[in-house]
Amino acid sequence: MRPDVSVIVPAFDSAQTLGACLAAVRAQREPVAEVIVVDDCSTDGTREIARAFGATVVEQPENRGPAAARNAGIRASRGDVLFFLDADCAPEPDALAVALRILRDEPDVACVHGIYSLRPLFDDGPVEAYRLLHGHYWRLKHAGRVRTTLFAVCAIRRSVFDEVGGFDERLRASEDVEVGDRMPARLGIVLSPAMVCRHDDDSRLLALLRKQFRRSQLLLPVARHERGPAGIRANSLATVGLAGLTALALPLAAFWAWAPLLAFLGFVVADPGLLRFVVRHRGPAFAVYFFAVHLLVVWSVLAGALVGALRPSPLLEPA
């Protein structure tokens, strides 16, 4: 028997992308029982677009972030399988079918999540191209059995939340990773490269750097609370270390001009698979741009992680 599937889409000021997201839900080859859009106090036409597509709209009384929105969607839903989508993601027509097939064929698997397409939902320029290349690469690199949950495009058995509880509403980032950390090892998690969605990613560099700085402040607190081996990481330790070394080498340019350049070249080759991937898909010229932007992004992550390590963590506050 096919399980009933509830689609849950948390949304905040998502009028630009929500229509494409819901149109992609409508185009799924597997039927869904209901579509729930949880509006997190939007100020644009998000609610009207959701209703135009026939979705059930759950309105949050105040803006509380994706964790609270997803919990509200869980409470409002009835499906045996919950298909979570971010409002800026449009799954390919077979995405849900891929997830349901894995859940059917591998009974120990409780959660299946997917990867971003290299093709954007809307083409907004080179910064977005950088984001999609990197996001596709690191997800593809970790494809298979994992211990990290990512909910941008994710199908999960309702019974998981009955057992481990909902999302931690104290968190406005990394809330999906934190849920996976509470899942016992007997509940399998699969990152499937066949479960693909197009994503409308960041397209403005300064906004991207600010977001990375803000979100990375929870990296160390979440990592300290992980049980067992480390989960999925978007960047290798070598990449992060050489980014830090490049920053430290900048003042040395006054004495030895080659120091920052050599450090940057080390940063570029720290993950040779990523270098080959970018050159293969976009060519050498774009690779230069890619790694320049990537260095700024990793610097933002390092700065945010340092600030987060010095601040009290919401994970240490009473629930």
277-310 pLDDT per residue, tens = 999 999 999 999 999 999 999 999 999 999 988 8
User: What's the number of domains the chain is made of?
Assistant: 1
Q: Is residue 117 part of a domain?
A: yes
CA distances, 114 to each of 151, 193, 282 (Å) = 9, 6, 23
Q: Is residue 216 part of a domain?
A: no
Q: What is the mean pLDDT of residues 42-64?
A: 96
Q: Is residue 217 part of a domain?
A: no
Asked if residue 138 lies in contact with residue 107, where contact means CB atoms within 8 angstroms, the answer is: no
Q: Hey, how many other C-beta atoms are within 10 angstroms of the C-beta on 165?
A: 12
- According to the model, what pLDDT value does residue 213 have? 94
What whole-number distance in Å separates Cα of residue 17 and Cα of residue 53?
A: 13
Asked if residue 253 has pLDDT above 70, the reply is yes
Asked if residue 127 has pLDDT above 60, the reply is yes
Q: Is residue 22 part of a domain?
A: yes
pLDDT tens digits for range 177-208:
889 989 999 999 999 999 999 999 999 999 99
- According to the model, what pLDDT value does residue 231 have? 66
SS3 233: coil
What whole-number distance in Å separates Cα of residue 115 and Cα of residue 136?
A: 6
For the entire predicted model, the pTM comes to: 0.90
258-269 and 237-249 helices cross at what angle (nearest 10)?
170
- According to the model, what pLDDT value does residue 255 have? 82
Asked if residue 230 has pLDDT above 60, the reply is no
Q: Is residue 282 part of a domain?
A: no
Q: What is the mean pLDDT of residues 10-28?
A: 97
Q: What is the mean pLDDT of residues 29-56?
A: 97
How many Cα atoms sit within 13 Å of 227 on the Cβ side? 8
> Which CATH number is 74's domain given?
3.90.550.10
Asked if residue 238 has pLDDT above 80, the reply is yes
pLDDT tens digits for range 201-223:
999 999 999 999 998 887 766 66
Q: Which domain holds residue 59?
A: 5-203
Query: Which secondary structure element, helix H or strand E, spans residue 222, and what is its range?
Result: helix 219-224
What whole-number distance in Å separates Cα of residue 222 and Cα of residue 201?
A: 24
CA nearest to 190, candidates 86, 83, 99: 99
Q: Is residue 15 part of a domain?
A: yes
Computed over every residue of the chain, the mean pLDDT equals 92
Asked if residue 314 has pLDDT above 60, the reply is no
Q: Is residue 179 part of a domain?
A: yes
Q: Is residue 266 part of a domain?
A: no
SS3 168: coil
What whole-number distance in Å separates Cα of residue 95 and Cα of residue 90?
A: 10
- According to the model, what pLDDT value does residue 316 have? 47
- According to the model, what pLDDT value does residue 318 have? 46
What whole-number distance in Å separates Cα of residue 153 and Cα of residue 176?
A: 11
Asked if residue 107 lies in contact with residue 29, where contact means CB atoms within 8 angstroms, the answer is: no
